[in-house]
Every structure is written in structure tokens, then in C-alpha cells.
Structure 1
Amino acid sequence: MKKNRIYTFLLAGALPFLLVSCFAAKDYEQPEIIKDENFRTDSLPQDSITMADVSWKDLFTDAVLQQHIDEGLQNNIDIRVALQQIIAAEAYLKQGKAGYFPSLSGNASLTHQEVSSNSQFGGLNSSLDQYELSANLSWEADIWGKIRSNKRAYEAGYLQSVAAHQAVKTALVSNIASTYYQLLSLDEKKKVTEITIENREKSLETNKALKDAGNITEVGVKQTEAQLYTAKAILIDINNQIRLLENTMSILLGKEATAIARTDLENQEIETELKTGVPAQLLKNRPDLMAAEYSLRNAFELTNVARANFYPSLTLNATGGLQALSFDSLFDTNSLFANIIGGLTQPIFNKRQIRTQYEVAQSQQEQARLQFRQAFLIASKEVSDALYNYESSTDKIEVKQKEFEAYDLATQYSEELLNNGLANYLEVLTARENALNSRLDLISAKYSQLNSMVNLYEALGGGWK
């Protein structure tokens, strides 16, 4: 018995048409979104150096803060979720790379058929059994670049997940540093308020003595007592804010709420030179911008895939194996069979599905382009805002320092005059309140300066390197 081999080729007249264009896919080009003259950094020099290239370990010199950042990078939940997203994207990337390879499947089957007695062959066999052991191979030629575009889309998706992980790291480093500095400022405010309470308790005793001596009235004593309670209320609020911030910091570090170790505000200095670099560097330093562009590249390549669906696809299918009517003869050489089919499929009418997919892909690509543009505009705004805030807080520290010194001297002079019966107690109360508020504002200005530096570092894309 001769082997049955069937070779079917449905390619007649198709190759000349296929050779018209080897690739329907377009190549990605980065959109023009950067205009240096609109990048608002005013008097600060722009060069090829940017503080974003500085490691967070070199920027933040406080050893305790460094330990917190390192702990956060190891344990933060958002960081760990982002790592899992990278793993998922990597799996899709491997799938995209395998798109050029043929698919192979195996089949083992037993077919039992009960034949009708009234049928053509019913009188010969009442039933038929067929055993089959086969393998099927299928392969599609990437004539229009559809498989290549799919692979590139998966690559862009993977790189987007990596950039998203870097963006989470940047935000986490910034949030930990900002929260840490805020805790230090609250510690300083707490210290000032506690000293104020102690001084006002002493002043209350002094005013009671002055009242007994007839130098002031009961009103003056009650006003001083009220100021004491005001300071105690401020202390309660500060302690509450400290606890809440410690809880927030604990979440950033990926652990249960607990006390946070820290140093002092006065020891905090950032020695890194303030340099913003050139606007184009945002695209290679800011992870969120990189992620936005990879999203655009992904949408661009998927548009190529949707466009390629309009063109005919060339496929090759091969099936071979063993086939017999009885299991005993299944592994006989006469049971071998093979089929090879080459096919060219051109979509004609498919309920507008291909056209719809293409139009949706174009729309999604334009959305990704606009989102990329928006991300860059936001990035340039954040850089400008951080610069202005840093300059403003630096100037404000100098002014607030002078203001506090003036109020502090006014308080000392008015208290001396009151003790000698030469001043009105209302002047003393006003001077004390102004001195406390000015000192607290001075601490806030110092925190604002440090926080502005942190914000600038994040805005330029620092923290993930």
C-alpha cells in the first residue's frame, strides 16, 4: 500500500503582488515637543550637567535619612508591586520575541463511528474505528511587519514597566526625604513651644506678683494665663502632627506604624550644586516621561499591527503522523501521512472589524501622543515651581530671621519695662505672641527650603539611579 501525501499550494499569482512592498509597518520617530526658550528657569545656568545625575546617597548626607530611604526601597509596597508589573511585562516580551517561530501541536485521537445499516457502507461494516497520532505545524510569514510591530510593542510595554518602577522609586525617595524633613521641623517647633510654655509659666508667676504689688490688674494676669494655654494648645497640635507623620513614614517604609528615628533640623545641609541641565535631559532622566514615551511607542506599533491586518497573510500549515483503522497497525510504515498547505488569506468583508480596530488604534496613538506632551509640560512646570519655591524660601529665611530677632528683642525690652512698671502689659503680650509666631515661621521657611530642593531633585528625575 502506497503512502498518501497531499501537497496543496494556493499561491498562484500571489507572489508578484506580495513583492510590491516587504513592509507595511512605519518606523517610530520621537515627536518634537521640546522648546528650550519656553523652559522657564530664569537666571539659573543651563548646561549638560544636572543634579538628577547625583545619587540620592550623595544628595542626602544624613545617615539616618539614608537608612530610611534604603529601607523604603527594599520594603515599600508600591515598589514591590512595580517589580511584579515588570515581571508580567517581561513575560509578554518573551511572547513577542517568539512570534517569528512556528507553532507546533500534537494530537492523539481515537474516532469510533457507528455506521447506519441503510447507508452506502452499512452492509460492510456496522462500526468503524480510526486511530491517529499526529503533529501540526503552523507558520505565518511576516510580510507586512505585523509580527515585528507586535514584538516592538511588547518591548515598549516592557520598557514602560521598567520606567514606571523607576518613577515609583523617584517618588518614594522624594516622599521619604520630604516627610523626614517635615518631622525634623515639627521637632524644632515642639522644642520652641515647650521653651515658650516654660517661659510663660514663669511670666504668669511674675505677673501675679506684679498684680499683688499693684503694678498690673487681674486682666493682665488672665491675658498671660490665656497665652500660656494657647502655647499648650499649639504643643498638642504639634504632637498630633508628629504622630500622624510617623504613621505616614511607616507606610512609606513598608512597616507597621512606629516611632521614626531622626536627627536635628539644624544639622541638615544639602551641598549639591543647584543645576537643572538642559530641557532635553528631562526625557532621559524623568522616569514618568520615559514611561509616557514608551506608551506612545507601544500605541504606534499597535497601529502598525492594525494597519497590517488590511493586507493578505501568508501561512504555511503542515500536518504529519500516523493513521490506521486498528491500533496494531498504527505504527506501521504504511500508516504514515503528511499534508502541507500554503495559504494566502485576504480579508474582504468582516463586519468592519479591521477598519474599527485601525481607527481605534489611531485614536489611542493620538491620545498617547497628547499624554506624552502633557507629561512634558507638567515636568517643566514642576522644575520651574521647585526653583521658584527654593529661591523664595531662601529669601524668606533671611527676612524671617531678622523679623524674629526684632520681635525677640522687643519682647525682652517690654518685659523689662513691665517689671519696672514702665510698660503696658498689652505690649508685652503682643510682643510675646509675635515672637513665637515668627520663630515658628522661620522653622517653616527652613523646611520649605529643604523640601524645595527635594522637589527639584524629583522634578529633574533624580532618585532612581
Structure 2
Amino acid sequence: MKKQIIGMMCATAVLSSCNIYKTYERPKVDVSGMYRDTVSVKDTLASDTTNMGNLPWKEVFKDPKLQNLIEKSLSSNLDLQTAMLKVEEVKSILTAARLAFLPSLSLSPQGTISSFDGKAATKTYQLPVTASWELDIFGNILNAKREAKASLLQSEAYRQAVQTQVIANVANCYYTLLMLDKQLAITEQTAKNWGENVKAMKIMKQAGLTNEAAVAQSEANYYTINASIPDLKKQIRETENTLSLLLGQAPQQIERGTLAEQQMPEHLSAGIPVQMLSNRPDVKQAEMALAGSYYYTNQARSAFYPKITINGSAGWTNSAGGAIINPAKFIASAVGSLTQPIFDRGANVAKLKIAKAQQEEALLTFQKSILNAGSEVSNALYQFQSSNEKCVQRKLQIQSLESSVDKTMQLMKYQSSTYLEVLTAKQSLLSAQLSDVKDSFERIQAVINLYQALGGGR
């Protein structure tokens, strides 16, 4: 009868703890319509199955100088090296969790010398090897191992997120330098032209073709353009220092190409939204955090069930009870114990409630990461389209302004136009030329942002 009661209790416990052994399953997440269409009024992008994030970074960033910089950053970036070390740390934790299934062994030699009332000393010793083994009937050790494995996947996803960020940051800094170089070249050439213009205005004044005010205005504009050059050089120096930091090196000059040499993809593809769940590292990181919290909740549940432990020892001793024997004899013992929580002042209940709340928090974080990913992809797609449209309109604007400058200069020669009109046309042309360089950079930046948003750089 006792055996039947014990068997029924065990069966009930096992059945009630079935949930403890279940593995994590990804919650259902609606990813339809995650990307907004950039042109359709329906607002939902019919994505191609091709995912730009699956391309190797060398196929996206084709500049050899940039490729060298990215390769150097992947081996020398300090943040990436730190992330790699974190992965190694979690690997050690997982190894320890796997070994927890095995018995623990220890050697505990003991020796005693005692003497009573001046009599001859007695010497006793023991050389036992002790072992302790917890039977993981209710999944405590199993879920600890699964949680450690989820933590490893989470840390690997974090390392990948850092790697993707490093690649994107290096590319952004590199193309920023190319943009600033181009703007500096335009500004310096414009300053040179304005210097020649000042000389021409002074000659015209001497010939009575213009007045002192026009000469002064020409000089002021020349000095204004010259004053903008140090700011551009300062930005170049700061960007080089930032890029040097990403490369894990002291601030120094960066070897680079030109903006006109760059070749970027003409058409971007985002792929189907469900690919993001496996491609984007921050989404995977959030999901693995959710999986870890799921297994931690299972551990909290297992605390309500008994713990069965088997302890044993074996070795040699010359002390058998009250007798001292020589030589020593072999001795062995084994003990089995069962510990069932009855009253723990609410600690186990509190731990379970906390674990469930943390699991819900992790689920919300996972859902938010997916929404954030979709938003970033949509932003990058629209940035690419809008920058393309701006580039087209800016080219037309520059053509019109160049024509305007030429015509106003010709009219001024015949005194049909004032110098103020020439000045306005030239200032507008310079502004448009600098904006054109910025538009080209924004188009490149859109490619970088989309590549990063799709989890590229793996």
C-alpha cells in the first residue's frame, strides 16, 4: 500500500511538472506589413525575396581603401574585442551548466594525533573520496543548462550587433570624409575664383566701371568663404579621429578615395519581413533574452518540487569505531536524501512571480525590437528614394544657377545688371554645389542604414 501511495505521489508530481521540461517556442508575431511602401498609397511594401542584408559587406562597400579599413576594424576595434570576450565568458558558464549533470567528486584526507594523560600518542587517518549527485528529476539543472545556452546565443547575437554597428560606423565615417573633402575642394576653388574676382573688381573700379561699395562687397564675400574653410578642415580632422578610434589606433590621417569614385547599389531590396527574425542581431538578442527568462521561470517552478541527492564516500581508514587498526581497511558508505520544500516564508512563490514578470518584460522587449527593426528599414528605404529625387532636382538647380551666373556676368559688363545680382547668383550656386555633395552622401548613407537595419555584415 505504501509503495502505491508513493508511486501515485511521484506520478502526480511528474505530471504536474511536465511544463518544466518544455523547450522554448517563439511566440507568434505578426510581421505582415512591417515595411512601408515608399511610393504606393497602399503603404505596405510587397518585398522581394532578395534580402540585401544577406550580401557580404565587400559586395556592398566596394572601395578597396574602405574594405581595408573595415577589415582592420574587425580585428582591432575595442568594443568588438570586448563583445568577443563576453562570448567566451558565457561559453564557460554553459560548460559549467552542462557538467552540473555529473556527480561532484572530492578528496578529503584527514589525520589526527592524540595523547591522553601522557600515554603514547595514537595516530588515526582517513583517505576518503566523497561524491554527491543530484538527480535532476524535476528539471532544475536541465533548465539552468538551457538558460545558459540561451545566454550564449544572446551574447553571440550581441557580438554580431556590435560587428554590424562597427562596419556601419566605419563606412559612415569614411563617406563623411569623402563628402567633406569634396565640399572643401569646392569651397577652396570658389575662394580662389572669388580672389580673382576681387582683383577684377578693383581693376574695374579704377576704370570707372564699378564703385567702391561693389569692391567692398566682393571682398567681404571672399573673406566669408575663406572663413568657412577652417570649419571644414576641423570637421575633417574630427572625423579622422573618430574613425581612428573605431580602428583601435591613435588619431591619424586616413587614406581614402574620392566621392566621385564610389559605386553603390542602384536598387535596394529589403527581403521578406520574417527574415529579420533570424538575420537582425538585436532582434535575435531580444529573443534569446526571452528564451532565457522562459527557462529561468521553469527553474523557479522546479523549486516547488523535491530535490533528491545521493551522497557517497569510499576510501581507507585505520580508525574503525573505537579501534585503531593497522594497516588501514577499506571503508564505503552511501546516503540518499530527499528535500521537499514545505514552508520557505514565501521565497519560492516570490521568485516565481518575479520570473513570470521578467518573462513578460522580455516578451514586450522582443516585440518592440521587431517593430523598431521594421521602422528602421522603412526609414532607410524612404531615405534612399528621397535622396535620389533630391539628387535629380539638385543637378537641374545647379545647371540653372551656372547659367544664371554666366548671364548676369555678361549683363554686368554692359551695365545691364548690378553686382548684387551677380553676387546673389554666385552665392546660390555655391550653396547648391555644397548641397549636391550632401545629397550624394545621404544617398550613400541610406544604403548603409538599410544594410545595417537588415542585419548585414554577418
Q: Does 1:77 align with 2:78?
A: yes
Aligned to 1:31: 27
Q: Which moved more, 1:348-357 or 1:303-312?
A: 348-357
Aligned to 2:240: 246
User: 1 CA distance for matches of 2:396 and 2:19?
Assistant: 70
Q: Residue 37 of structure 1: SS of its match in structure 2?
A: coil
The 5 Å alignment of 1:135-284 reads 135-271=129-265, 273-284=267-278
Contact 2:34/2:273, CA 8 A, preserved across alignment: no
CA 1:297–1:331: 2 relative to 1, 3 Å? farther
Equivalent residue for 1:61? 62
Using the TM superposition, give the Cα deviation of residue 330 of structure 1 relative to its aligned residue in structure 2, in angstroms. 7.1
Whole-Å Cα distance in 2 between the matches of residues 194 and 157 of structure 1? 54
Structure 1 letter corresponding to 2:127: L
Q: Which runs of 4+ in 1 moved over 6 A?
A: 124-128, 328-331
Shift of 1:168: 0.8
Aligned AA (1:32): K
Aligned partners of 2:431 and 2:391: how far apart in 1?
A: 14
- Structure 1 CA distance for aligned equivalents of residues 349 and 106 of structure 2: 32
SS at match of 2:337: strand
Per the alignment, do residues 31 and 434 of structure 1 end up closer, same or farther by CA in structure 2, a change over 3 Å counting? same
How well do the aligned residues superpose, as a CA RMSD in angstroms?
A: 2.2
What is the alpha-carbon distance in structure 2 between the residues aligned to residue 187 and residue 49 of structure 1? 35
TM-score of the superposition, structure 1-length normalised?
A: 0.91
Corresponding residue for residue 410 of structure 1? 404
User: Mean Cα displacement is larger for which, 366-375 or 105-114?
Assistant: 105-114
Hey, what's the Cα distance between the residues in 1 that align with 2:215 and 2:111? 104
Looking at structure 1, the residues matched to 115 and 290 of structure 2 have their Cα atoms a distance apart, in angstroms, of 59
Once the 2 structures are TM-superposed, how far is the Cα of residue 167 of structure 1 from its aligned partner?
0.8
> Is this contact kept in 1: 2:146–2:295, CA < 8 A?
yes
Q: How far apart are residue 415 of structure 1 and its match?
A: 1.7
Taking a change above 3 Å as real, the CA distance of residues 209 and 343 of structure 1, as seen in their structure-2 partners, is same
Do structure 1's residue 19 and structure 2's residue 19 form an aligned pair?
no
Contact 1:322 1:330 in 2 (8 A): no
Residue 98 of structure 2 aligns to a residue whose secondary structure is helix
Could you list the runs of 5+ residues in structure 2 that have no partner in the other structure? none
Of 66-75 and 345-354, deviating more is 345-354
Say whether the 8 Å CA contact 1:186–1:238 is kept in structure 2. yes
Letter in structure 2 aligned against 1:77:
L
Contact 1:138 1:318 in 2 (8 A): yes
CA contact (8 A) 1:322 1:331 kept: no
Aligned pairs for 1:288-327 within 5 A: 288-325=282-319
Of stretches 408-417 and 252-261 in structure 1, the one that deviates more from structure 2 is 408-417
Amino acid at match of 2:29: I
Structure 1 position 125, deviation (Å):
8.2
3-state SS in 2 of match to 1:40: coil
Query: Matched residue pairs, number?
Result: 445
User: How many Å separate the matches in 2 of 1:403 and 1:245?
Assistant: 29
Pick closer, same or farther for the CA change 1:54–1:38 going to 2, 3 Å: closer
* Distance across 1 between alignment mates of 2:336 and 2:250: 63
Q: Does 1:446 align with 2:440?
A: yes
Q: Which moved more, 1:33-42 or 1:256-265?
A: 33-42
Task: Give 2:96's aligned residue.
Answer: 95
Shift of 1:194: 0.8
TM-score (norm 2): 0.92
Whole-Å Cα distance in 2 between the matches of residues 37 and 457 of structure 1? 19
- CA offsets 1:116-161 (integer angstroms, 9 cap, x no match): x9xxxxxx98987542211111111111111111111010111111
SS in 2 for 1:305: helix
Deviations 1:279-301 (A, max 9, x none): 11111110111111111111110
- Provide the C-alpha distance between the structure 2 equivalents of 1:57 and 1:296, rounded to a whole number of angstroms: 33
Deviating more after overlay: 227-236 vs 39-48:
39-48
CA distance, structure 2, for counterparts of residue 330 and residue 154 of structure 1: 50
Structure 1 residue 38 displacement after superposition: 4.1
Mapping of residues 356-435 of structure 1, within 5 Å: 356-435=350-429
Matched AA of 2:205: K
Q: 2:349, 2:326 → 1: CA distance?
A: 49
1:131 and 2:132 are equivalent in the alignment: no
Distance in 1 between the 2:431 and 2:94 partners? 58
More off after superposition, 87-96 vs 43-52: 43-52
Q: Could you tell me which residue of structure 2 aligns to residue 50 of structure 1?
A: 51
Does the aligned pair in 2 maintain the 1:132–1:330 contact within 8 Å? Answer: no
Per the TM alignment, residue 14 of structure 1 is displaced from its structure 2 partner at its CA by 4.1
Query: Identical aligned pairs, as a percentage?
Result: 34
